[in-house]
Amino acid sequence: MALKTEEMILNMGPQHPSTHGVLRLELELEGEIIVGAKPHIGYLHRCFEKHCEAMSYPQVTPYTDRMDYLASMYNEFGYALAVEKLLGIQVPERVEYIRVIMGEFQRIASHLVAIGTYGLDIGAMTPFLYCFRDREKILSLFEQTCGARLLYNYIWVGGLSHDLHPDFLIQARDFIKYFRPKIKELNDLLTNNKIFIDRTANVGILPLDLAINYGISGPNLRASGFKWDIRKDDAYSVYNKFDFDIPVGKGTMGTVGDCWDRYYIRILEMEESLKIIEQAIEQIPEGDVTSAIPKRIKPAVGQVYSRVENPRGELGYFIISDGSVNPFRVKVKGPSFVHLGIMNELLKGYMIADVIAILGSIDIVLGEVDR
């Protein structure tokens, strides 16, 4: 007579050091193997979209910062592009270049957090501190420009709040020179380490058709082998003036689309961002960054959907305007929310010890999931 077994339900509760925020994962286990996973979210919901209906357009910008708090510049960038599309205004070229430079610096900072915390989850505690030390340098560049380290309110609809600090370009060049050897050091310490490779290669394999069906975007999609980047395929701002590569996962240490690929794509992307910043610093024109900011933003009736390439994926803003100073509806498509939906498929068949590795490699931020 066969033994009747029951599935055990294990709760990786909202308070857990490795879930990158307040996420509750309900795991169904059979022995040590996972057969299902249900993410429960909403612990960080702050009614962002409802707030927007009571604010005027410029007042929404500080709120967009706080969604994905590790990549604030990009949230503001996406919102500014959407409202400018709705208004039909064109910003000066200097503004576009500065937005790209800030966005790419922010991408490096966000990837540093992702890599550092991923190493911490796997057990290597030192790369985390090296990543944060480098991130401090980027944050002090931001502090010099707009006065805040994490939530900037810098990229406004129609322009920027301040022009660059006179020392900014010199310090940016110094940072690039300083940072390139650090990527090599990170590779020595973490990427090529045999123990790290054993923990992450062939774990959490995301097949390409599954990724496309679920709407995955950003580094996770590129790690599964598909070359798709909104900065190249649906270019916005001045990205079409720069020459940079799109790294794609090749399965060097295991299969295409495993955790190691997703992690390695982020390291390669940091290198590409450095290239973009170098070119932007060379090409940046002079100009006035506040000239195109409208006195009162009152768009015509209409709707717009505009998307940008967040460090985590495709960030989309859908704004409906009814002709008044407040938007009628602002809907945000956050990439982390979509990526969390794939956890059920991705975790099937792996052991409990792999949950942390897989969750860390998708790089979610709960602020963006819950808004």
Partner 1 sequence: MIYDFFFKITGSNIIASIIQSLLPLFIFILPFALFAVWLERKVSAHMQDRLGPMRVGKHGWLQTIADILKLVQKEDIVPNEADKPLFNIAPVLVFVGSYAVFAAIPFSGAFIGSNIDLGIIFIIAASGFVVAGILMAGWASNNKYSLLGAMRSAAQIISYEIPTVLVVLTIIMITGTTNLFTLSEMQTGHFWNWMIFGGPNFGVAKFIFIPFMIMNFIIIYISTLAEVNRTPFDIPEAESELVSGYHTEYSGMKFAMFFLAEYANMFAVSAIVTALFFGGYQSPVGYLGNLFGAHWLIPIEQFFWFTAKGIFFVFVQMWLRWTLPRLRVDQLMTVCWKYLIPIAFVNLIIIGLITVL
Partner 2 sequence: MKEYFKNAWSALFTIFIGMKVTFKHLFVPAVTIQYPDVKLQLPERERNRLYVNMDDCIGCDQCARACPVDCISIETVKGLPGEDLGKTSNGKRKALWVTKFDIDFAKCCYCQLCVFPCPTECIYMTDVYEFSEFERSNLIYDFVTLTPQEREEKKENYAKLEAEKAAAKAAAVNKPIEKQETPKP
Binding site for partner 2 (CB under 8 A): 55, 58-63, 126, 130, 133, 136, 140, 143-148, 151, 153, 161-162, 165, 185, 188-190, 192-195
Contact at 8 Å (CB) between 196 and 122? yes
Q: Total number of residues binding partner 1 (CB under 8 A)?
A: 28
> Which among 223, 105, 109 is positioned nearest to 155, based on CA atoms?
105
Which listed option, partner 2, partner 1, none, makes contact with residue 35 (CB within 5 to 8 Å by class)? none
> Which tokens hold the place of 324?
């008044």
The strand ranges marked E within 174-290 are none
Place of tokens 């932007």: 280
Which listed option, partner 2, partner 1, none, makes contact with residue 122 (CB within 5 to 8 Å by class)? partner 1
Contact letters for partner 1, residues 197-226 (x by CB under 8 A) = -xx---------------------------
Which listed option, partner 1, partner 2, none, makes contact with residue 160 (CB within 5 to 8 Å by class)? none
Instruction: Output 12 or 60, the one with its CB closest to partner 2.
Output: 60
Instruction: Output 130 or 236, the one with its CB closest to partner 2.
Output: 130
Kindly identify the residues of this chain, within the stretch 130-189, that bind partner 1 according to CB under 8 A: 130, 133, 189
- Minimal distance in Å, beta carbon 121 to partner 1? 6
CA 13 to chain centre: 24
> Which tokens hold the place of 312?
């985590």
Give residues with Cβ within 8 angstroms of 51, minimum separation 6: 60, 63
Round to whole Å and give the CA distance between 184 and 33.
Answer: 36
Beta bridge partners of 155: 160
- Minimal distance in Å, beta carbon 191 to partner 2? 10
Which listed option, partner 2, partner 1, none, makes contact with residue 145 (CB within 5 to 8 Å by class)? partner 2
Which listed option, partner 2, partner 1, none, makes contact with residue 12 (CB within 5 to 8 Å by class)? partner 1
272 part of the interface to partner 1, by CB under 8 A: no
195 part of the interface to partner 1, by CB under 8 A: yes
Instruction: Output 15 or 240, the one with its CB closest to partner 1.
Output: 15
- Minimal distance in Å, beta carbon 107 to partner 1? 24
Round to whole Å and give the CA distance between 268 and 265.
Answer: 5
Per the document, the length of the chain is 371
- Sole binder of partner 1 in the list 14, 18, 26, 293 (CB under 8 A): 18
The C-alpha torsion from 101 through 105 and 110 to 115, rounded to 10°, is 130
DSSP 3-state percent helix, strand, coil across the chain (nearest 5): 50, 15, 40
> Which tokens hold the place of 303?
């709707």
- Minimal distance in Å, beta carbon 12 to partner 1? 6
33 part of the interface to partner 1, by CB under 8 A: no
The strand ranges marked E within the chain are 8-12, 24-30, 33-40, 155-156, 159-160, 302-310, 313-321, 329-333
- The residue type of 190 is L
Contact letters for partner 1, residues 88-117 (x by CB under 8 A) = ------------------------------
Place of tokens 């490699």: 361
Instruction: Output 223 or 357, the one with its CB closest to partner 1.
Output: 357
Round to whole Å and give the CA distance between 323 and 87.
Answer: 11
Instruction: Output 125 or 170, the one with its CB closest to partner 1.
Output: 125
Which listed option, partner 2, partner 1, none, makes contact with residue 303 (CB within 5 to 8 Å by class)? none
Helix (H) or strand (E) run with residue 333 in it: strand 329-333
Contact at 8 Å (CB) between 309 and 288? no
67 part of the interface to partner 1, by CB under 8 A: no
Tell me which residues touch partner 1 (CB under 8 A): 10, 12, 17-18, 119-126, 129-130, 133, 189-190, 193, 195-196, 198-199, 351-356
